Amino acid sequence: MDAPAFDFPTSVTRSTDLSASTADTRTGHHVFAPVTPDEVERGRSTFAAEWDTAVRSVPSSDDGGASTFEAMDLLRRPVARATCAAVLVDLDPDTRDRVADEVLAWIDALAPVIASPRAPRRWSRTRRREHRARVALEQSLADVLPGCGITDTPSVVATMLAAGIQVPIAAGAWLLVHLADRTDEDFDADHAVWESLRLTPPTWVTARITTGPVEVGGIALPAAAVVLVSPLLLGRQRELAPDGPEDLMRFCPKRWDRGDMRPGAWLPFGAGAHACPGRTLGLALLRDLAVWARPHRMTLASSVTIDQSRGILPKPASLAVELWEGSDS
Ligand code: HEM
């Protein structure tokens, strides 16, 4: 929270041109305005409609049993369209969907750049592909932003959209994975969301740089030290999450029934000047997804591993889904 002492790293991607730097802060990293309640509502209602369409498009199994889908794939368009609808006001649906697909294309092209253990060379095939995808997206944004009354640069908006799409897709997939194989039909949607963000925060580590000598938890740090803050590890601290019927390593929405501990103390959305500006939208989408999941019986079609290439993603997040007996929604 102490922004002057802990600065945002100039570039988290090891190539200065990928961050939307506009010299608004000391290191020059842009400070994003938080999404507004109207934006959240636009995003949420778009997500509800698009998720419904996406789920209906999943072919039913030949034997009339559960349908199977890959959550990371099925969530892509509903989340992308929802975030675009939230951020880009008054766009006609065709243009919004085209921009959403372009953000997804940039995210896909960016993935190998971020995942690479050594930064790919500037003119490598990987970087050229990422560059082409980013230029195409920024060109589209340059065309539509004036009509949306947005004065931020295309590069700033592209960053906002990419951050607001990639992370919620992973968060949504984790939520569905955790809710699969549950034995209890009933759960509180908000509690399930917080519990999923506690156990598997998609951005499992964030970074800051010290601007001068400083002490953290009794440890003296010099200037220019990299400080890594891990929501994943903080979420397993006894002081920050309630005990429940299950221990802290297990998914247990019920632990939040106690209501005497603040959800989010383990920083799943970061903290300070660079905390997530889209957290209210992210929470709204996840809540809708949890409400959708409630009447559905889900099982994991194969065991899940953790892909650590861009934050943490469930891989595969392959789910077999049917309605609980007696459920009609
Ligand atoms: C459940 C969904 C989401 C989660 C878990 C999440 C998590 C995070 C985290 C942990 C950070 C880093 C904060 C820090 O370093 O202190 C972050 C940054 C950011 N998020 Fe989110 N986020 C979510 C949804 C969204 C949405 C929907 C948007 C946009 C509409 C968004 C836009 C951003 C942006 C632009 C940043 C960079 C902020 C900066 O560098 O100043 N996020 N998010």
What SS3 state is found at 70? strand
Answer yes or no: is 31 within a domain: yes
> Cα(81)–Cα(74) distance, rounded to whole angstroms?
12
Cβ atoms 69, 319 nearer than 8 A: yes
Taking the C-alpha atoms of residue 240 and residue 268, their distance in angstroms, rounded to an integer, is 12
Cβ–ligand 1 contact at 275 (below 6 Å): yes
CATH of the domain at 223: 1.10.630.10
DSSP label at 187?
Answer: -
How much of the chain exceeds pLDDT 90, in percent?
Answer: 70
Amino acid at residue number 61 = S
- Beta partners for 182? none
Q: Is the CB of 235 under 6 A from ligand 1?
A: no
Name the closest-CA residue to atom 41, ligand 1.
274
Output DSSP code: residue 21: B
For residue 309, being part of any structural domain is answered with yes
Question: 175 Cβ partners below 8 Å, 6+ apart?
Answer: 192, 193, 196, 286, 289, 290, 293
Ligand 1 contact, 278 CB (< 6 A): yes
- Residue 215: its H or E element: strand 214-216
Q: Is the CB of 162 under 6 A from ligand 1?
A: no
Q: Which atom of ligand 1 is nearest to the CA of 272?
A: 16
Which atom of ligand 1 is nearest to 286's Cα? 1
**Ligand 1, atom 16: nearest CA belongs to which residue?**
270
Average pLDDT, the chain: 89
Mean pLDDT of 192-218: 93
| Strand 67-70 versus strand 219-221 pairing type | unpaired
Residue 244, pLDDT score: 82
pLDDT tens sequence across 16-68: 433 333 334 555 678 899 999 999 999 999 999 999 999 999 987 777 678 89
Answer whether 196 contacts ligand 1 (Cβ < 6 A).
no
Q: How many structural domains is the chain composed of?
A: 1
Q: Determine the number of helices (DSSP H) and then strands (DSSP E) in the chain.
A: 9, 10
Task: Point out the least confidently predicted range of 20-29, 207-216, 250-259, 307-316.
Answer: 20-29
Phi, psi of 70, deg, nearest 5: -95, 115
Task: Verify whether ligand 1 is closer than 6 Å to residue 171 (CB atom).
Answer: yes
What spacing in Å lies between the alpha carbon of 32 and ligand 1's midpoint? 10
- pLDDT of 113-156, one tens digit each? 988 888 888 889 999 999 999 999 999 999 999 999 999 999 99
Q: Residue 325: pLDDT band by 50, 70, 90 thresholds?
A: low
CA of 169 to the centre of ligand 1 (A): 12
Structural tokens at position 171:
């968060």
Residues across the chain: 329
Q: Which of 19, 276, 310, 312 to mutate to test the pocket of ligand 1 (most atoms within 8 A of CB)?
A: 276
pLDDT at 14 over 70: no
**Closest Cα to atom 18 of ligand 1:** 276
User: pLDDT digit string (tens) for 229-283?
Assistant: 999 999 999 999 998 888 999 999 999 998 889 999 999 999 988 899 999 999 9
Hey, which of 21, 42, 161, 167 would you mutate to test ligand 1's pocket, going by the most ligand atoms within 8 Å of its Cβ?
167
| Residue 1 belongs to some domain of the structure | no
In a domain, 86, yes or no: yes
329 located within any domain: no
Is 305 inside any structural domain?
yes
Q: Which residues contact 44 (CB under 8 A, 6 or more apart)?
A: 82, 281, 284, 285, 288
Q: With cut-offs at 50, 70 and 90, classify the pLDDT of residue 326.
A: low
Our CA dihedral for 273, 308, 165, 280, rounded to 10 degrees, sits at -50
Q: Does the C-beta of 269 come closer than 6 Å to ligand 1?
A: yes
269 CA to centre of ligand 1 in angstroms: 6
Is the shortest distance between the CB of 172 and ligand 1 below 6 Å? no
The domain of 103 spans: 6-323
Q: Which atom of ligand 1 is nearest to the CA of 197?
A: 5
Q: Which atom of ligand 1 is nearest to the CA of 168?
A: 2
Distances (CA, A) of 94 to 62, 177, 329: 33, 31, 29
Going 26 to 128 to 135 to 113, the CA torsion angle's sign is: negative
CB of residue 281 inside a 6 A radius of ligand 1: yes
Closest CA to 194 of 226, 213, 171: 171
**Contact partners, residue 43, CB within 8 Å, separation at least 6:** 35, 82, 83, 85, 86, 281, 284, 285
